[in-house]
């Protein structure tokens, strides 16, 4: 009998050969399935801790905002001609040709990469509440070809969904993934997505938008009068179509 001294006293260990069940060294190793269960449980516990600390809505918003920005930023790498002409497009998942668009098309395409179809969401709300939307174009009923491509309609829709936030002159009020609308010269409406990058040497976030020369990411947050501020993170409205490449 060998005596082993340790911090918790003296342990007597037989020098004779032991069976596999009684040996510390030869104990059965956990199977691959058991190790996976342990790993999954660890991941689950870590997720619960994060949800407890941050809240599920915060984690959800951070996830969607990062993907929304990535989708919008990807559009800045593609050539695009500014074209706001009326076009007949499919419904749902309708879009104008990929090489053209306006400020709203950048927002629509970014959300659609998250499987959130503003064409459907706006059209369905307008069908039920047409009188609550701007009556600026002489229409008698909703038009899914163009309604979601108009800034005044998007502003109304976001406000009706409870996504409206106060307009502020403080840069910190505008979080990554927020939507901002402006009034440009000649009374033209404009919309863009708040970036997760800041203007060098400031706390002012950049904006991803298309003001006429294709999608860009630059410093325009306070360049024009702000007319609206929104944070819109709904559940997905539709499955991805074949043309979509979700950034998840």
Asked if residue 65 lies in contact with residue 113, where contact means CB atoms within 8 angstroms, the answer is no
pLDDT at 58: 72
pLDDT at 243: 38
Between vectors from CA 229 to CA 225 and to CA 230, what angle results, nearest 5°? 155
> Per the structure block, which two tokens stand in for 188?
């033209």
- pLDDT per residue as tens digits for the range 86-95: 999 999 999 9
Average pLDDT over the chain reads: 82
Tokens 């969607």 found at: 64
**Domains along the sequence of the chain with CATH:** 52-230 (3.90.1720.10)
pTM of the model: 0.74
Among candidate residues 176, 117, 183, the one with its CA nearest the CA of residue 151: 183
> Per the structure block, which two tokens stand in for 80?
């695009």
pLDDT at 1: 46
> Per the structure block, which two tokens stand in for 143?
């038009």
């Amino acid at each position: 009998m060998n005596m082993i001294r340790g911090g918790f006293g003296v342990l007597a260990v037989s020098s004779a050969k032991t069976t596999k069940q009684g040996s510390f060294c030869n104990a059965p190793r956990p199977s691959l399935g058991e190790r996976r269960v342990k790993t999954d449980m660890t991941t689950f516990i870590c997720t619960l801790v994060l949800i407890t600390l941050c809240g599920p809505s915060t984690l959800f918003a951070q996830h969607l905002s990062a993907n929304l920005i990535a989708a919008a930023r990807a559009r800045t790498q593609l050539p695009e001609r500014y074209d706001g002409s009326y076009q007949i497009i499919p419904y749902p998942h309708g879009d104008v040709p990929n090489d053209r668009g306006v400020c709203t098309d950048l927002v629509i395409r970014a959300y659609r990469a998250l499987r959130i179809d503003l064409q459907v969401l706006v059209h369905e709300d307008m069908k039920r509440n047409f009188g609550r939307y701007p009556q600026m174009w002489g229409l008698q009923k909703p038009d899914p070809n163009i309604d979601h491509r108009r800034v005044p309609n998007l502003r109304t829709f976001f406000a009706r969904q409870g996504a409206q936030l106060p307009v502020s002159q403080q840069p910190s009020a505008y979080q990554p993934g927020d939507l901002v609308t402006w009034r440009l010269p000649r009374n033209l409406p404009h919309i863009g997505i708040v970036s997760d990058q800041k203007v060098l040497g400031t706390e002012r976030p950049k904006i991803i938008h298309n003001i006429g020369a294709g999608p860009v990411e630059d410093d325009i947050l306070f360049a024009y009068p702000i007319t609206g501020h929104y944070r819109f993170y709904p559940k997905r409205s539709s499955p991805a179509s074949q043309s979509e490449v979700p950034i998840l």
